[in-house]
Chain A
């Protein structure tokens, strides 16, 4: 009972303190002293996933850079749109940073949420993991070219697993269809891991998920990856060619994560955040952490990130329209 009571008391205390912290922060107009108090990163995903891991590891490094504590708050719901909406509508003083991910550029097209990238001011992109076409080890094709030829001979029969209808890996498979002029059977799963499991179990023919998500099975010899949808080869599987190398022109498609603040945040504050978080992301410990977790680091500055999100939103709009999901 004591344990129970103390747990209750603690939770109530934590809530109260959290509540006060959010409301009482006096802001200063002078950015030269930024940050004067602790920063909070809103993670619109549950604890334990890749987004959460990236945010926590980065926060850990950035604390040293900023000399302030950085809290991570998981706020789930609506495929991430709940947490992101809160981040977009937060006080524009730079103390509430939101970790956004690729879905932000898809919400509007999928009819999930009116939220778009231009409601934020980007700090920078941190991570990118491309889609990779992975098939069963005993499949009758060994290269992307052979796969495409096989799919052309068997239109609509090759089943390609993704992590959910309208997910980035579904979009990736659709881009593959478009670029290669083939027709496949999209099989949605509840996440990438179940899709990979179905591939290993021989229930589907291919998956278009990230290299990290197939790495274990690749090393076990259960699957083979034919090509990666990126401009450069993946560090995790350096032997696998890119789509361009394998002879198919395709836009780099994959999942990414980056940091943003509300749109009206002063530019000098954003500049400070950009400088600090980029420095943190270049830290060796962070690189090591990302590597062991199979997460790729790709840094983009505030400007580049904005242009990138804009491009993504356009591209995805077309593909989602063609898939009839809007």
Chain B
């Protein structure tokens, strides 16, 4: 407790708070722009922190990281353009809410859920990090494979109106994921001697194309139509009673995010989809999902911000970075003379607790900045389509290019955009494709790595408890929507 108090005094200094706020605002901006990821934001701001005090410097980076994870949801909700892969799941119901004129409410839900999810994960980090870290280490190739299979099974619940079309979309994603050097054998697949294809198709340009560019192409089609399609932004506030309905979803999703965040190799994108799926599973109004259900916004947002605290668990307690952002943070900590690992709490106790308090404050700042910013953010929707559409397309190109300064990514984005336009037109959902691209490589490489480790024996998948539990969950998830659909069919047929 003393250390927490010490942390409080460390954070509540004007310069520290200001730097943290700057980090959050920079992060939100970076996160909301497609193509600029949290990792890139943190890496680019890293050199600035070298000259700073350790705590201030690290908190600036944490601000950018947390802000970017939240920021992705703003554009996902308003213009169906997830700023980062973590917000791909948010776009499903968030954009549907915007189309109904509920953008204001959707942003409120996402802001509140992000902050609560983030705070929950930091509390877990503060109190039970070492115990959880030991558990996270148990995750090896077979466990991660099972988690990926579980993730894939979610396709059945984000399939949209037609299960068959959802599954086809999922398989398209998995097929795209096979492009590139095979992760275990090193054999080039579908690369056609093009070096750009050798490391596979990058997820982010595909995501920008499928979500944002295709939407822009669609908008172009109706730009000159006399029928005016203006979205009304009603200032519908989130009511207390609605919040009470959401809180269960938010807490559950935050916990899912924290759990997935601490597993090396799995991050915000997967967590958001898993939380979305669980929210749907627990909901009585399953048919509302995909059509603008508040829980469909709350779940992924609470989960992807929950990942932030979760990812810090193995980083701080074991010195193990679970993803690219935490790898950059590890470097930042070491430059400041802070060595993460089991000795961290003994050697740098006061600094660690100051960071903990700073993380809590960062999440509160997201809440405040987010809630104040909503009025500003929703102004995007007042921009006429004739102006907004070209801007979005420019953003798509700039975003895809800025990823790796590689024109090939722009090409991938444009092709995905055109493909996405036709897929959308014929009722194929985009999110299963994204899920397939995210999880395909994770599933394949871990499956094969597990077999390398077991020297070819499949026993490795049935003799490890975590693996078995996750695989059973996957089977249940895959078949439960099919079964409920069968049962409910007579009632739902009328509306679709």
A112 to B183, CA, bound (A): 13
Map CB proximity to A onto B239-277 as digits: 1 under 8 Å, 0 otherwise. Answer: 000000000000000000000000011000000000000
Chain B minimum-CB-distance residue to A42 = B405
Q: Mark B336-349, 1 if CB is under 8 A from A, else 0.
A: 01011111000000
Complex contacts, B398 vs chain A, CB 8 Å: 8, 11-12, 15
Residues of B within 8 A of A201 (CB): 137-140
Q: Establish whether residues B341 and A79, one from each chain, have CB atoms under 8 Å apart when the complex forms.
A: no
The answer, among A77, A166, A293, for a CB contact under 8 Å with B335, is A293
- Expressed in whole angstroms, the minimum distance between the Cβ of A325 and any Cβ of chain B is 5
A53 CB within 8 Å of chain B: yes
Tally of A-B Cβ pairs under 8 angstroms: 165
Beyond A12-B398, A75-B405, A185-B455, is A47–B43 a contact (Cβ under 8 Å)? yes
B29 adjacent to A7 (CB under 8 Å): yes
Contact of B186 among A113, A156, A165, A219 (CB under 8 A): A165
User: Within B168-215, which residues are at the interface with A (CB < 8 Å)?
Assistant: 181-186, 188, 195-199
| A21 at the binding interface (Cβ < 8 Å) | no
Q: What is the CB-to-nearest-CB distance from A251 to chain B, in angstroms, rounded to a whole number?
A: 21
- Restricting to B356-388, which residues have a CB under 8 Å from any CB of A? 376-377, 379-380, 383
Chain B residues positioned under 8 Å from A111 (CB to CB) = 188
Q: Which residues of A contact B453 (CB under 8 A)?
A: 159, 185, 187, 203-204
Q: Would you call A68 an interface residue if the criterion is a C-beta within 8 Å of the partner chain's C-beta atoms?
A: no
CB of A200 within 8 Å of the partner chain = yes
- Pick out which of these stretches binds chain B: A88-96, A189-197, A240-248, A258-266: A189-197
CB of A164 within 8 Å of the partner chain: yes
Category for how many chain A residues contact B: 35 or more
The answer to whether B335 and A190 have CB atoms under 8 Å apart is: no
| B-chain residues with CB within 8 Å of residue A196 when the two chains form the complex | 320
B328 x A48 contact (CB < 8 A): yes
B339 touches A219 (CB 8 A): yes
Q: Which residues of A151-198 are within 8 A (CB) of B?
A: 156-157, 159, 164-166, 185-190, 193-194, 196-198
* Residues of chain B in range 313-363 having any CB-CB distance to chain A below 8 Å: 314, 318-321, 324, 327-328, 330-331, 334-335, 337, 339-343
In this complex, which of A8, A46, A193 has the most chain B Cβ atoms within 10 angstroms of its Cβ?
A193
Q: Chain A's nearest CB lies how many Å from the CB of B407?
A: 10
Q: Is A1 an interface residue (CB 8 A)?
A: yes
Q: Within residues 127 to 143 of chain B, which ones have a CB less than 8 A from any CB in chain A?
A: 137-141
Is A27 an interface position by the 8 A CB rule? no
Q: Give the residue name and chain of the A residue nearest to B144 (CB).
A: A194
In the assembled complex, which residues on chain A have CB atoms less than 8 Å from the CB atom of B327?
48, 193
Kindly state whether residue A31 has any CB partner on chain B within 8 Å: no
- The reply to whether A216 and B137 contact each other, CB–CB distance below 8 Å, is no
Residues of B close to A7: CB separation below 8 A: 29, 33
- State in angstroms the CA–CA spacing of A112 and B193 once bound together: 8
CB closest residue in chain B, given A6: B29
B478 contacts chain A at the CB level, 8 A cutoff: no
- Chain A neighbourhood of B402, CB < 8 A: 11
Determine the residue in chain A with the shortest Cβ distance to B449: A187
Find A74's partner among B33, B198, B330, B405 (CB 8 Å cutoff).
B405
Q: Tell me whether A78 is interfacial, beta carbon within 8 Å.
A: yes
> Is the CB of B406 closer than 8 A to any CB of chain A?
yes
Instruction: Tell me whether B288 is interfacial, beta carbon within 8 Å.
Output: no
Q: How far is the CA of A166 from the CA of B380 in the complex (A)?
A: 48
Q: Which residues of B are found within 8 Å of A1, using beta-carbon distances?
A: 376-377, 379-380, 383
Minimal beta-carbon separation of B207 from chain A (angstroms): 17
CB contacts (< 8 Å) of B449 on chain A: these are: 187-189
A292 on interface, CB distance cutoff 8 Å: yes
Residue A217 CB within 8 A of the other chain: yes
Residues in chain A near residue B138, CB distance under 8 A: 201
A190–B137 CB distance below 8 A:
no
> What 1/0 mask marks residues of chain A from 73 to 103 whose CB sits below 8 Å from any chain B CB?
1111111011001000000000000000000
**Chain B residues positioned under 8 Å from A325 (CB to CB):** 186
> Does the CB pair B199–A78 fall under 8 Å?
yes
CB distance from A317 to the nearest CB of B (A): 15
B394 at the interface (CB under 8 A from A): yes
User: Is B155's beta carbon under 8 Å from chain A?
Assistant: no
Given contacts A53-B331, A193-B320, A200-B137, contact A73 B405 (CB under 8 A): yes
Is the CB–CB distance between A48 and B46 below 8 Å? yes
Q: Does A294 contact B (CB under 8 A)?
A: yes
User: In this assembly, does A110 line the interface, its C-beta being within 8 Å of a C-beta of chain B?
Assistant: yes
B40 interfacial by beta-carbon distance below 8 Å: yes
Name the residue of chain B whose CB is nearest to the CB of A85: B195
Q: Are A197's CB and B320's CB within 8 A? A: yes
A129 part of interface (Cβ distance < 8 Å): no
Contact in complex: A203, B141 (CB < 8 Å): yes
**Are A113's CB and B195's CB within 8 A?**
yes
Instruction: Answer yes or no: B44 CB below 8 A from chain A CBs.
Output: yes
Q: Does B427 contact A (CB under 8 A)?
A: no
| Residue in B188, B198, B341, B395 whose beta carbon sits within 8 Å of that of A81 in the complex | B198
Residues of A within 8 A of B264 (CB): 194, 197
Q: Contacts A187-B452, A220-B342 known; A48 to B383 CB distance under 8 Å?
A: no
Contact A292 B335, CB 8 Å, known A82-B196, A220-B319, A220-B343: yes
Q: Which 9 A-B residue pairs are closest in the complex by CB-CB distance?
A: A48-B43, A76-B404, A216-B319, A165-B186, A78-B195, A203-B140, A201-B137, A47-B43, A220-B341
A contacts, CB < 8 Å to B? 1-5, 7-8, 11-12, 15, 46-48, 52-53, 56, 73-79, 81-82, 85, 110-113, 115, 156-157, 159, 164-166, 185-190, 193-194, 196-198, 200-204, 216-217, 219-221, 289, 292-294, 325
A204-B453, A216-B340, A292-B334 given; name 8 further pairs at CB < 8 Å: A46-B39, A47-B40, A48-B40, A76-B403, A185-B452, A194-B265, A216-B339, A220-B318
Interchain residue pairs with CB less than 8 A apart (18): A1-B379, A1-B383, A48-B43, A75-B404, A76-B404, A77-B406, A81-B195, A111-B188, A113-B195, A115-B195, A159-B452, A188-B452, A200-B318, A201-B137, A204-B453, A216-B341, A217-B318, A219-B343
